[in-house]
Structures are given as structure tokens and as C-alpha cells.
């Protein structure tokens, strides 16, 4: 735990007072700007798994970019030695290197601290129980959940990904996955990130929108994400998980996408850095303020 008097606040250039609890601000300890040292101190000795699709990989990369800002000891994404379990089966089934789907980083080593960040790619967050109904890739049928015990994970940040299925199937799959995860790992900190929709004709925008864009019904089903996020929130909180609402900020960022051919993924640096800020503050509340 980091002593309260070590926390330094910043006003973010808006002219407002800091929200750090050490400043006496009337805002209390509601928000802190991201600080790599603070982040590393809070997570020292812990292992964090980000699991989901390519957008979850954007979050994992944004974490390492923000933590590594100014660091003297930089290393790139690497696979975790000889892959095991899910990651090994993926490599054997697809003949691709395991680090196409699984990688890990040692963070904070330049500070004399140790945080392990893992990423596992799974589009649908299939649990073993959900596999028969919903898994698309039948070449391997073991769950990514095995990596939690194998890698001694203490925090998982999960997202099902922007791969639409009907609401009833979505609810059954996510209920099965979350229940299986909680039953097998009762002490695991589960953070469930919601899914922001893309923005139609994103290339026309050069700054955040002032009014929400209407989402037409297309094959991508972006207009259905809001309802499924509500389902996800209910299911996550039902197993004692924490719901991470990145859509609240992402919905305004039509300007942050890659471009004409990709209005779903975001650029680095960009809106996903705000997600890192949010995760940072969630972890402060969950790991420090609550002990």
C-alpha cells in the first residue's frame, strides 16, 4: 500500500483543483491523473491478465505505453517462455507463434518493482462450459481460464469483444463464462470492460463529437452494443465483478479511429489512453482505499 502523503495531484491544465486526497480538495479522492510510479507501486508483485479481442490488445498496449513513458528499461512484447495450456494448443492448432495470441511483459523493473502484464486473445471469452455452443474455432477446445492458475494471475480485465451474437446467446454465454470464472477462482479480482461501438464515417471527424451519432443497423450490429453492455453489467456485478465503463468516454471519440477502413479500432496515442486512466483509478479504489 502506498502512503497517502506520497500521492501528488495535478490539475490537468483545466484550471481546476486536484482531485488527489492529499490536497484537501473538496473533491476528495475521486480521481488521480495517471502516474507510472503510483501505478507500479499499487500493483507491485501482482500479475494482471488482459483477455479479449484486438481491442483488448489495444488496452494492453496502452498500459505498457503509459507505464513505460520515460522508462530507461524498455522491452517489447514477448511470449511467456514455452507456452502452456490454451496458448500452446493455439500454436499447435494454427501453426502460428504463440505470441500471436499470448504475450507477457515485465513492467516497472526500472523502478525496482515487478508487475507482470499478460495478454490472451480470445474473441468470445469462452469458458469450457460455453465452448460447445459458441466457440467458432473448433481446432482447440480448452478454456483460456487455465492460464489464470498456470500464470498465478490475481487480476483479470476481460471483454467479450466486438463480435456480435444475438442477445439471448450473449447472455447465456457470458453467464456461463463468469460463473465458471468465479467458481474456479473465488479470490480473483474480475474487472469486466464494456464494448464501445464504432462510429459511422469516422474519417469525417477531426475532434470529439458534440452530439451522439445515430448508429444505423448494419451487419456489424453496432446499434446493439448498448443493450448488451447493460446485460454485461448485470452479469458482472452478479458474480462480484467490477464493471468498467469505457463506452461513456469512447462514444464521443469519433475522431480517434484508425481511418476510412477501420472505424472501430483506435489510434495510439488516443482514446484508449483514457481507458488506462480509468483502470488506474479503479485499481486505486479497489486495492488501496479498500485495502
pLDDT of residue 131: 43
Low-confidence residues in the chain, pLDDT < 50: 1-24, 79-80, 129-141
pLDDT of residue 69: 65
Q: Which CATH number fits domain 35-274: 3.40.50.1110, 3.30.360.10, 3.10.129.10, 3.40.50.2300?
A: 3.40.50.1110
pLDDT of residue 136: 44
CB 190 within 8 A of CB 181: yes
pLDDT of residue 217: 83
pLDDT of residue 102: 82
Can you tell me the distance from the alpha carbon of 289 to that of 291, in angstroms, rounded to the nearest whole number?
Answer: 6
CB 25 within 8 A of CB 19: yes
Classified as helix, coil or strand, 73 is coil
Hunting for cell 451522439 — which residue is that?
212
Classified as helix, coil or strand, 142 is coil
pLDDT of residue 128: 54
Q: What are the two backbone dihedrals, phi and then psi, of residue 51, each rounded to the nearest 5 degrees? A: -130, 135
The pTM (predicted TM-score) of the whole model is 0.83
Amino acid at each position: 500500500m502506498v502512503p497517502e502523503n506520497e500521492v501528488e495531484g495535478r490539475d490537468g491544465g483545466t484550471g481546476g483543483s486536484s482531485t488527489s486526497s492529499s490536497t484537501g480538495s473538496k473533491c476528495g479522492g475521486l480521481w488521480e491523473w495517471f502516474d507510472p510510479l503510483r501505478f507500479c507501486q499499487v500493483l507491485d508483485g501482482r500479475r494482471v491478465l488482459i483477455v479479449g479481442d484486438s481491442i483488448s490488445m489495444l488496452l494492453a498496449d496502452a498500459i505498457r505505453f503509459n507505464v513505460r513513458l520515460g522508462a530507461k528499461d524498455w522491452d517489447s512484447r514477448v511470449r511467456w517462455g514455452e507456452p502452456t495450456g490454451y496458448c500452446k494448443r493455439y500454436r499447435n492448432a494454427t501453426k502460428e507463434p504463440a505470441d500471436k495470441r499470448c504475450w507477457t511483459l515485465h513492467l516497472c523493473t526500472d523502478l525496482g518493482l515487478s508487475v507482470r502484464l499478460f495478454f490472451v486473445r480470445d474473441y468470445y471469452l469462452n469458458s469450457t462450459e460455453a465452448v460447445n455452443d459458441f466457440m467458432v474455432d473448433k481446432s482447440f477446445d480448452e478454456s483460456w481460464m487455465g492460464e489464470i492458475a498456470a500464470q498465478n494471475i490475481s487480476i483479470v480485465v476481460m471483454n467479450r469483444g466486438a463480435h456480435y451474437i444475438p442477445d439471448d446467446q450473449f447472455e447465456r454465454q457470458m453467464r456461463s463464462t463468469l460463473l465458471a470464472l468465479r467458481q474456479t477462482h473465488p479470490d480473483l479480482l474480475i474487472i469486466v470492460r464494456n464494448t464501445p461501438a464504432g462510429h459511422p464515417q469516422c474519417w469525417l471527424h477531426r475532434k470529439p463529437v458534440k452530439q451522439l451519432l445515430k448508429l444505423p443497423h448494419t451487419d456489424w450490429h453496432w446499434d446493439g452494443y448498448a443493450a448488451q453492455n447493460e446485460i454485461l453489467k448485470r452479469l458482472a456485478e452478479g458474480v462480484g465483478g467490477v464493471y468498467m465503463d469505457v463506452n461513456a468516454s469512447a462514444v464521443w471519440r469519433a475522431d480517434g479511429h484508425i481511418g476510412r477502413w477501420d472505424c472501430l479500432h483506435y489510434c495510439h496515442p488516443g482514446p484508449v489512453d483514457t481507458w488506462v486512466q480509468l483502470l488506474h483509478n479503479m485499481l486505486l479504489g479497489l486495492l488501496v482505499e479498500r485495502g
